[in-house]
Chains A and B, each alone.
Chain A
Amino acid sequence: MIQTSKLSFCYPASAAIAFPDIDVPQGAVVLLSGPSGCGKSTWLALVAGLVQPASGLLTVAGQPIGGLSKVAADAWRARTIGFLPQKLHLSAALTVSQNLGMAQWASGQQEDHVRIDATLKALGVADLGKRKPSQLSGGQAQRVALARAVLLQPKIILADEPTASLDDEAAADAISLLIETAKKQGATLVIATHDGRVATSMPPTASGEIGYTALKLSRHIAGSAK
């Protein structure tokens, strides 16, 4: 589902960041960890097709990212990637249902209320559709944001620091909800985090299941990756 080979990225006027090679099968869970500033965001941006690699190969869901135009990348991302941001960014102006509808709008789809209701129900927040984000608890809001991420049935779910502001118990719940939801959807899950609790709360892998892949980034900076 995600394959990289000698992947690197270069911000304007700074040294290139080189990433370790990885080959993630479909349905796997990737734990992307490392200290702040090690390039986790950049790696997510690369996988989401938001930025182009400086060198190396990156293939996501069968699509080589290097060759996509910006317009094609937007459309491809809408079909392929579900995103759970660290700050949830639920629009305060809209209700929960409308926030999900907005995701359909952004991807160019028709607003589909049956789908929205079903997705909210699957995440156990079916009765919150008419509420405004300001009326939700932290846990409810995260479930709604996750519903938004999986609404379009993406092949890959990118979760950015999903446990950052949660206590131990809630963090463990959040991780298991994420894994469970991704599994139900058959989606590959990437959890980017510098939170040590995430690794310890990963559920044990049953035999025959695809386990989780740990991708540890360090502050290692490649001299010149070009």
Chain B
Amino acid sequence: MKTIALSWRYLWSRPMGAFLNVLLLSIGLASITFLLLVSSQLDKAFDKDLAGIDVVVGAKGSPMQLILCGVFHIDVPPGNIPLKAVKALQQNPMVASVIPISLGDNFRGFRIVGSNHEYVDHYGGVIAQGKLWDTSMQVVVGSIVARKLGIQVGNVFVGSHGLGAGGHLHGDNPYTVVGILQPTGTVLDRLIVTDTASVWKVHEDYTAVDDEDRKIMEDEREVTMALIKYKTPLAAMSFPRMVNTTTEMQAAAPAVEISRLLNMLGIGTDVLRAFAGVLLLTAGLSVFIALWSAVRERRSDLALLRMLGASPTKIALLLLGEALWLGLLAAFFGVLAGQALTALIGWMLQLDNSLLIGGITWPMELWAIPTLAIGVSLAAAILPAWGAYRVSVLELLQSR
């Protein structure tokens, strides 16, 4: 019989205790798994949505709001900026590309983004059905939008004013779905994209009193913000300052704002992490108590094994084997529960049309979990194993 198999039998000779210890360890490990997965998936989601956007220019206000609104589409815009000003930026030698974005309406909670084909290309959007728009009032929808709302190519819908469901309906200007995009894993999946001109048309028709009014509006056309890519990284030094000081607009660097945001969230994750650490420590203690009392209970059994010829090392290994089993089982169930929890949260957030997390992933950091599990249980087993190592056979002969 192998030592490890014997350890297994001993472990389950106290099924309730073994079960509770596996449970306790698993809960601690699951919390840590969950934190690791969420932070790694958030990072990845942020990275994907941010890729290729060096700076966002929009109306003055909170730079973080600008980023959250323009890049992740989870906040309202600070205001609009003149189209002319955006066109002027396009002429700037530091600027490689400018993608204008116009927000204002939604369809059943999904944002309608007015932009150009470059916006779709930027996120690697590929048409799954139909085609990209070629005139205004045509839209393509992201994969999540299509799935959630059951939208088909050829459907016609009316957008409602504002960024959340339930605003005024723009009944005079219905949109026609001409294409559905393949999933990209980016914010594009939960957007409805149309030509910038569509957004203007809807709102000008809605607000203009007469033709003259409309003419003035056309002159003063606005967009919500512009996503800008630099020609050279050096532009990061001067371009935002130039925009912030010489224009009525503000420039916000997504990378800076996101690291600010993650720092703020960081305090929260640190607290959670500490909490998970305490859980794990408690579990470690419980394993220690279980093994310690196991050695006390089985003192004479262990002494008998010594009498039968087992070396002290072999007896100690028997104890360590039990701890190893606890650690392995807990690592397995902990990671499983952590993944399940992450998938559940991801699913709930998806219902909320919020950030994209979920799915089973195995980032490198996750190897910390089995390492931690085995580390904690073996550490808890050191003293009991030492106790087992020192069991005296004489006690067996003298236990009368």
Q: Hey, which bits of chain A sit against chain B, CB under 8 A?
A: 36, 41, 44-45, 48, 50-51, 71, 74-75, 77-79, 81, 83, 85-87, 89, 91-94, 98, 101-108, 111, 148, 160-161
Contacts and interface: CB of A to CB of B under 8 A. Distances in A.
Contacts of B304: 83, 85, 89
B393 A45 contact: yes
A107 B308 contact: yes
A85 B396 CA distance: 8
Contacts of B6: 102, 105
Q: Name which of A83, A101, A105, A108 has the most chain B CB atoms within 10 A of its CB.
A: A105
B301 A91 contact: yes
A77 B300 contact: no
Nearest to A44: B397
Going nearest first, the 3 A-B pairs with the smallest beta carbon separation are A78-B309, A93-B13, A106-B310
A186 to B, nearest CB: 20
Contacts of A89: 300-301, 303-304, 396
B309 A50 contact: no
A106 B308 contact: yes
A105 B309 CA distance: 9
B307 A102 contact: no
A148 B308 CA distance: 9
Contacts of B306: 74, 106
Interface in B280-330: 298, 300-301, 303-311, 314
Contacts of A50: 307, 393-394, 397
Given A48-B307, A75-B309, 13 more contacts: A41-B397, A45-B393, A50-B397, A74-B309, A77-B308, A78-B309, A79-B309, A86-B399, A89-B304, A91-B13, A105-B2, A105-B3, A111-B1
A104 B1 contact: yes
A108 B311 CA distance: 9
A165 B55 CA distance: 89
Chain B binding surface SS class: helix
Interface residues of B, number: 29
Interface string B362-398: 0000000000000000000000000000000110111
A45 B400 contact: no
A160 B400 CA distance: 10
Contacts of A92: 13
Given A89-B301, A105-B1, A45 B308 contact: no
Contacts of A83: 304, 307-308
A44 B310 CA distance: 18
B339 to A, nearest CB: 33
A103 B308 contact: yes
Interface of B: 1-3, 6, 9-10, 12-14, 298, 300-301, 303-311, 314, 393-394, 396-400
B304 to A, nearest CB: 4
A200 to B, nearest CB: 22
A143 B146 CA distance: 76
Contacts of B394: 41, 45, 50-51
A157 B397 CA distance: 14
A86 B400 contact: yes
B397 A74 contact: no
Contacts of A93: 9-10, 12-14
A149 B304 CA distance: 11
Given A89-B300, A91-B301, A93-B13, A160 B397 contact: yes
A74 B12 CA distance: 28
A106 B1 CA distance: 9
Given A45-B397, A50-B393, A94 B300 contact: no
B307 A77 contact: yes
A77 B307 CA distance: 7
Given A87-B399, A91-B301, A105 B9 contact: no
Nearest to B308: A106
B17 to A, nearest CB: 12
Nearest to A71: B311
B326 to A, nearest CB: 16
B300 to A, nearest CB: 5
B1 A102 contact: yes
Contacts of B303: 89
B305 A102 contact: yes
A83 B10 CA distance: 22
Contact of A98 (B3, B9, B397): B9
Contacts of B2: 105
A92 B12 CA distance: 11
Contacts of B309: 74-75, 77-79, 106-108
A36 B400 contact: yes
Contacts of B307: 48, 50, 77, 81, 83, 85
B13 A78 contact: no
Contacts of A148: 308
A75 B311 CA distance: 8
26 contacts: A36-B400, A45-B393, A45-B397, A77-B307, A77-B309, A78-B309, A85-B396, A85-B397, A87-B300, A91-B10, A91-B301, A93-B9, A93-B12, A94-B9, A98-B9, A103-B308, A105-B2, A105-B3, A106-B306, A106-B309, A106-B310, A106-B314, A107-B308, A108-B309, A111-B1, A160-B397
B305 A106 contact: yes
A185 B91 CA distance: 104
A202 B393 CA distance: 29
B392 to A, nearest CB: 9
Q: Name which of B2, B303, B307, B311 has the most chain A CB atoms within 10 A of its CB.
A: B307
A106 B306 CA distance: 7
A98 B300 CA distance: 17
A63 to B, nearest CB: 14
A93 B7 CA distance: 11
